Structure 1
Amino acid sequence: MTTDRSRLMGFAVVALSYAAAGLAAWGLVAVLPGRHPLAVTLYADLLATIVVFAASMVVRNASLYDPYWSVAPAVIVAAWVWQAGLSGRRIAVLVLVLVWAVRLTANWASSWRGLGHEDWRYVQLREQRPRLLPWWLLNLTGIQLMPTLVVFAGLLAVWPAVKTNEHSFGLIDVLAVVVTGTSIAVEATADRQLRRHARPGRTLDSGLWRYSRHPNYLGEIGFWWGLWLFALAAAPSWWWTVAGPITMVLLFTFVSVPLMDRRSLSRRPGYADHMRRVPALLPRIVSVAARPSPERRDGVP
């Protein structure tokens, strides 16, 4: 009962914090008429992030920001589509983004235990930061503003997809639907397999995890590439928004994957061998992961 009450209290704090962030963002949009909508969206996004940051400092839990990754894009895309009106492409983009956002937010909510539970990465950053670097500054810039800017870069591809009409719905849009939808399914399947089969000290090497060490990250990267395909279909002159999915690739390849691999190396016997057999993200065409792992050969489930 105490744990349930703690979770409910935590979710209430998150809801109030995000409501305040949304109101602050809406107020900023209202006082900036005549500015380019993309710039206004960025300013509002940053202000909302600062509000969430302030709340995270009050409750001393940086994980208050975690659902922002999936909540903010849904709100932004819905606002853009509402302003532009409905069309085949806009409906496809909106539905896919909403499905992704609801699933990813629910996945976070299912694992978050309340205000007493903070992501291990943030705890590690707090403990290992240079003594002269204030925690509030690291929290604001590294944990909150940086992901907000990365996600906004990814959303740049959605702007031409919902705001321009250079080309009607066509084959590239169909490809975009397939890539985005498949990526959401891959990420959802990987998260479900992780919840069902992961055990302390054991390396998960079944299902999608047999072919990629981080199939959930692979699905997330694919989602942003799918959104960029919508931009390419709508307005090829906006090809440069490819910077968004490229940024996602760099973030997961050079930050998220190394962090998770280092943690697994320290917690899971045999993970070094698993790293040699299984690629970090993209599965090999001919995978050596089909070989049983040392844990399985030794009879350990």
Structure 2
Amino acid sequence: MFEVLIGSSSIYYIYTNIHVHGNLTMMDILLLLIIFSGVLLENIADNQLSTFRLYKQKSKGQRFSVLSAGLWKYSRHPNYLGELIFWWGLFFLGYYYNAPFWCALGPLLINLMMYFGSIPMTEERLFRKYPEYKFIQKRISTLLPTFGY
């Protein structure tokens, strides 16, 4: 929660300084698109994962398969990538509205938590449960998408 609080601190500066430009600028639109794309990426990835899990429950032959289609074909954690895009986009929008640079501490801490906490724990759990996951790890990038093998 501390990371979310720090990450959200940019909102204060956006809210209190929005009058600086009066109207939306191209930079506002660009940064809002980045924020929205992060939310959209996370949502699509989570929906694909949910659909895959339901499919696995119904199809006993696929019980030990691992998702490697859709967004998951390009990144092993596209949902985490979407979340990181959201937090960094929010910081940069706040920074554009005079948020101090210390507000970057929020997205930085979230990045570190994902990179050193969430991703390794998820990877370890998947590897223990699905030994063939090692082939997915060799073929698909951890976080940043790759579009070819």
**TM-score interval for Structure 1 and Structure 2 normalised by the shorter chain:** 0.7 to 0.9
Unaligned 5+ runs, structure 2: 57-62
CA RMSD, 1 decimal: 1.5
1:231 touches 1:239 (CA, 8 Å); kept in 2?
no
Q: Is 1:159 paired with 2:12? A: yes
2:95 aligned residue (222, 232, 245):
232
1:175 touches 1:229 (CA, 8 Å); kept in 2?
no
1:167 touches 1:233 (CA, 8 Å); kept in 2?
no
| Deviation for aligned residue 1:241 | 1.2
| Deviation for aligned residue 1:165 | 4.5
Matched residue SS, 1:164? helix
Structure 1 counterpart of 2:48: 193
TM-score, with length taken from structure 2? 0.86
Q: How many residues align?
A: 139
Identical-pair percentage? 30
TM-score, with length taken from structure 1? 0.44
Q: Is 1:178 paired with 2:33? A: yes
1:172 touches 1:229 (CA, 8 Å); kept in 2?
no
Structure 2 counterparts to residues 1-301 of structure 1, below 5 A: 148-165=1-18, 167-168=20-21, 169-198=24-53, 199=56, 200-235=63-98, 238-284=100-146, 286-288=147-149
Q: How far, CA to CA, are the matches of 2:122 and 2:67 in structure 1?
A: 13
Larger CA Rg, structure 1 vs 2:
1
| Deviation for aligned residue 1:270 | 1.1
Deviations 1:141-184 (A, max 9, x none): xxxxxxx1011111111111112247313222111111111111
Unaligned 5+ runs, structure 1: 1-147, 289-301
